[in-house]
Structure 1
Amino acid sequence: MRDQEGKAATFRSLHRRAEPFVLFNIWDAGSAKAVGEAGASALATGSWSVAAANGFADGEKVPISLVLDNARRIVEATGLPVSLDIESGYGVSSEEVAGTIARVAATGVIGCNLEDSFPADGSMRPLAMQAERIAAARRAADAKCPGFFINARTDIFFQVAAHDEAMADTAIERARAYADAGADGIFVPGLVDEALIARVCAAVPLPINVMVGERSPSLERLATAGVARVSHGPGPYLAAMAALRAAASHALAGAP
């Protein structure tokens, strides 16, 4: 437990406004070792990648027993802090989410992502409902691992393609409520507009996490905007599978 709490403290210390640290997302023990050997300061799973690697679709389709067993294997394979993407908590009620988070913390991971959309269709949960779920997760996490890092994810920027200041203000409202409920960080995947990222960072008291892609600002620009944490989502898994396909095609074609 003390080792887990120490890793949680280390992970928390990496979150510094305008000094983003990078999470090159993993999906199993093997990818954890590879990314750790590359010099990572911490590790985090991506639910899409874990699902795809095990033959499932994303959206809590992976059995929770498999998710937790995979987390244990990753923790055992590395000495780094590990955060688990647990999607929306594998539970309908806040009590069920609390039970899930207790089981998550028992694997040895030191944090999780917890999103505010319904896994069935991606629509947004009511704000009060999600705040209650985060508060329940907070209580459960503290009982198992003091300092456990809850990264509250808002999916507002996945709802429509056109992003504007009104959407950013909605994200800010949610982020502040999640902070009051006990979240430690705010994850805003789908947001790539630099001005809107800066708007969210300036208005939210917690460290902001963005997910990068082809249209994202550079790491330097994200730092200027105030970002504290950068995730790569399914990108690493997709790149690995592309390299595997290319190597397999080369070998199967009989090339030397």
Structure 2
Amino acid sequence: MQEQRQAALQLAALHVKGRPLALYNAWDAGSAKAVAAAGARAVGTSSWALAAAHGFDDGEEIPLALVAQIAGRIVRSVALPVTVDIEGAYSSDPDTAAANVALLLAQGVAGINVEDRVVAGAGLHDIDSQCARIAAIRAMAESRGVPLFINARTDVFFTPSAAPRAVLGEAMARAEAYARAGASGLFVPGLLDIEVIGELAAATALPLNVMMMPGAPSVERVAAAGVARISHGPAPYLAAMAAVEAGARAALA
């Protein structure tokens, strides 16, 4: 437990505005070991990649028990803090969501991503509902003596046709509320506007996490804007599978 506590504290300390923690996201123990060998300071999973690697679609289609098993294999394979994407914590009910996260805690994880999108539904959970889940997860982790890094993901910037500045106010409101509920960081996938990134980073006390994707600003620019964490999402898995396919085509030609 002390080792897990230290890993969680180490993960939190790696989030520095302007000197972002880079996560080249993994999906199993093998990919995590490769990322660690490259010099990573922490390992984070991608829910999409982890599901796809095991024959499931994203959106909590992969059984939670299997996610926990994979998380445990990763934790035991690398000497680094491990943070796991648990999507929407597999429940809208705060107590059930906390119990689900406890399964990952039992495997030694130091952090999680939990999102406010309604999985297998439409839209986002309202702020109060999402705060209740975050607070329940925080209380559960604290009761176990683990300062779990809760990276609160908001999908406001994934709203179809929404201009980033048009939803910036909602993102700021969610950031403030999630921080009060016990979140450790704010993850804003889909946000590519460098000016809005900078404004949001300055407006929230939470370390800001962005995702590299087509059209995203450079690492240097997001660092200068005050970002504290950079994720790569499913891109590493897609690149790895493209390399496997290319190798297979050459071998089978």
The TM-score normalised by the length of structure 2 is: 0.98
Q: CA deviation at 1:75?
A: 0.5
- Indicate the residue corresponding to 1:109 in structure 2: 109
- Indicate the residue corresponding to 1:126 in structure 2: 126
d(CA) in 2 for partners of 1:91, 1:129: 11
- Indicate the residue corresponding to 2:182 in structure 1: 182
d(CA) in 1 for partners of 2:102, 2:55: 26
- Indicate the residue corresponding to 2:137 in structure 1: 137
d(CA) in 2 for partners of 1:35, 1:175: 30
Q: CA deviation at 1:104?
A: 1.4
Q: CA deviation at 1:130?
A: 0.4
1:223 aligns with 2:223: yes
Q: CA deviation at 1:121?
A: 3.0
d(CA) in 1 for partners of 2:223, 2:125: 30
For the 8 Å contact 1:105–1:145, the answer to whether it is kept is: no
d(CA) in 1 for partners of 2:16, 2:195: 19
d(CA) in 2 for partners of 1:193, 1:162: 12
- Indicate the residue corresponding to 2:47 in structure 1: 47
d(CA) in 2 for partners of 1:184, 1:120: 26
Matched positions, count: 253
1:136-185 deviation per Cα after TM superposition (whole angstroms, max 9, x unaligned) = 01101112242110000001111124423221111111011000000000
Aligned-partner SS, 2:213: coil
- Indicate the residue corresponding to 2:86 in structure 1: 86
Q: CA deviation at 1:102?
A: 1.5
1:38 aligns with 2:38: yes
- Indicate the residue corresponding to 1:252 in structure 2: 252
The TM-score normalised by the length of structure 1 is: 0.97
d(CA) in 1 for partners of 2:50, 2:161: 26
In structure 1, give the amino acid aligned to 2:70. Answer: N
Aligned-partner SS, 2:209: strand
Q: Which runs of 5+ in 1 are unaligned?
A: none
- Indicate the residue corresponding to 1:171 in structure 2: 171
CA-atom RMSD, angstroms? 0.9
For the 8 Å contact 1:102–1:144, the answer to whether it is kept is: no
Note the 1:3-42 alignment, pairs <5 A: 3-42=3-42
d(CA) in 2 for partners of 1:200, 1:4: 31
- Indicate the residue corresponding to 1:56 in structure 2: 56
1:16-67 deviation per Cα after TM superposition (whole angstroms, max 9, x unaligned) = 1111110000000000100000000000000000000000000000001100
Note the 1:188-203 alignment, pairs <5 A: 188-203=188-203
For the 8 Å contact 1:106–1:144, the answer to whether it is kept is: no
Aligned-partner SS, 1:151: strand
Aligned-partner SS, 1:22: strand
d(CA) in 1 for partners of 2:168, 2:237: 29
In structure 2, give the amino acid aligned to 1:171. Answer: A
In structure 2, give the amino acid aligned to 1:28. Answer: D
d(CA) in 1 for partners of 2:31, 2:18: 28
Aligned-partner SS, 2:210: strand
- Indicate the residue corresponding to 2:74 in structure 1: 74
In structure 2, give the amino acid aligned to 1:19. Answer: R
In structure 2, the CA distance between the partners of 1:203 and 1:237, relative to structure 1 (3 Å rule), is same
Q: CA deviation at 1:109?
A: 0.5
1:235 aligns with 2:238: no
In structure 2, the CA distance between the partners of 1:122 and 1:30, relative to structure 1 (3 Å rule), is farther
- Provide the identity percentage: 49
1:51-107 deviation per Cα after TM superposition (whole angstroms, max 9, x unaligned) = 000000000000011000000010111111000100000113111011112111111
Q: CA deviation at 1:199?
A: 1.2
- Indicate the residue corresponding to 1:156 in structure 2: 156
d(CA) in 2 for partners of 1:39, 1:213: 22
